[in-house]
Amino acid sequence: MPIRQTLDLPDIQLSYLQWNQGQTPLLLLHGLADHGLVWSSLGDYLAPNYHIVAPDLRGHGESSKPDQGYTFDDHIADLEALMDHLGWSSADILGHSWTGKLVPIWAKQNPSRLRSLILVDPFFIGKIPMWFKVMFPLLFRVLPFVKAMGPFVSYEQAEAQAKQLKQYRGWSPFQQNVFQASIEPKPDGSWGSKFVVQARNEIFEDVMRVAGLTEIIAI
């Protein structure tokens, strides 16, 4: 089983799961509105051969949720600080969905940090015209990972919504654990995602503004 750790950075606390059995550094990065626990099955499988870390990125899971600071550059700075803390000069890095765009951007900025890139279903890999911003309210209503944010009047309503989403199809014990770790009661008595609205809004703006894997990178 992985061990949950916390890294204190100047402006946030970064929570992460660590499988510290193997030697080769491997960083597993979750998609938008997810958290490090989504990699628990893969982490268990690869642990004998890799030193694995799966962070909850800022605005997600158990990590801090500042009012601002969710650009690609902010996340890359967090990840480089995490690697420095672990004593890693470089690592194999897997990014899913939104982080499948973040990882190539990181590789363009600092390729020496990345031994290899594994991109799973990268999200909006190019730039997006600024007029597309008017579609954000519609996207926030229809994208499955955003629909799961809530708010919901009860945990039971939140779970019922989750069971209708493709990422939870089948509702296995693993999926249930991932969902339960992604949601929390709010001060007003409702239930909602640990992924916060300010992170959603700023990340979507940066996804539009910055191109991902659109040029050759030396890695």
Which pLDDT band, with edges at 50, 70 and 90, does 143 fall under? confident
Q: What is the pLDDT of residue 126?
A: 81
Find, among 204, 31, 24, 187, the residue nearest to 116 by Cα.
24
Quick one: fold of 3-149+195-209?
Rossmann fold (3.40.50)
Mean pLDDT score of the chain:
93
Region for 31 from its dihedrals, namely left if φ exceeds 0, alpha if ψ lies in -120 to 50, beta otherwise = beta
Cβ burial of 75 (10 Å; 0-12, 13-18, 19+) is buried
Region for 118 from its dihedrals, namely left if φ exceeds 0, alpha if ψ lies in -120 to 50, beta otherwise = beta
What's this model's pTM, rounded to 2 decimal places?
A: 0.93
Considering only 74-78, 138-142, 198-202, which range has the smallest mean pLDDT?
138-142
Q: What is the pLDDT of residue 213?
A: 81
Q: Which residues contact 155 (CB under 8 A, 6 or more apart)?
A: 183, 185, 191
Q: How many Cα atoms sit within 13 Å of 15 on the Cβ side?
A: 15
For the segment 163-169, the average pLDDT, to the nearest whole number, is 89
The domain limits of the chain are 3-149+195-209
How far, CA to CA in Å, does 143 sit from each of 6, 80, 154, 165, 195? 30, 30, 21, 10, 14
Query: What secondary structure does DSSP assign to 122-160, as a single string?
Result: -SS-S---GGGGGGHHHHHHH-HHHHTT--BSSHHHHHH
Find, among 142, 156, 152, 157, the residue nearest to 192 by Cα.
152
**Gap between the Cα atoms of 89 and 110, Å rounded:** 11
Which pLDDT band, with edges at 50, 70 and 90, does 219 fall under? confident
Q: CA-based angle 29:166:139, to the nearest 5?
A: 75
Radius of gyration for the alpha carbons in the chain, expressed in angstroms and rounded:
17
* Chain segment 19-72, per-residue pLDDT in tens: 999 999 999 999 999 999 999 999 999 999 999 999 999 999 999 999 999 999
Statement: residue 209 has pLDDT above 80 = yes
Q: What is the pLDDT of residue 208?
A: 87
**Gap between the Cα atoms of 90 and 115, Å rounded:** 6
Q: What is the pLDDT of residue 75?
A: 98
Of the ranges 1-5, 25-29, 117-121, 130-134, the best mean pLDDT one? 25-29
Q: What is the pLDDT of residue 166?
A: 86
* Chain segment 76-127, per-residue pLDDT in tens: 999 999 999 999 999 999 999 999 999 999 999 999 999 999 999 988 788 8
Q: What is the pLDDT of residue 176?
A: 95
Q: What is the pLDDT of residue 120?
A: 95
Query: What secondary structure does DSSP assign to 157-193, as a single string?
Result: HHHHHHTTSGGGTT--HHHHHHHHTTEEE-TTS-EEE
**Gap between the Cα atoms of 162 and 170, Å rounded:** 11
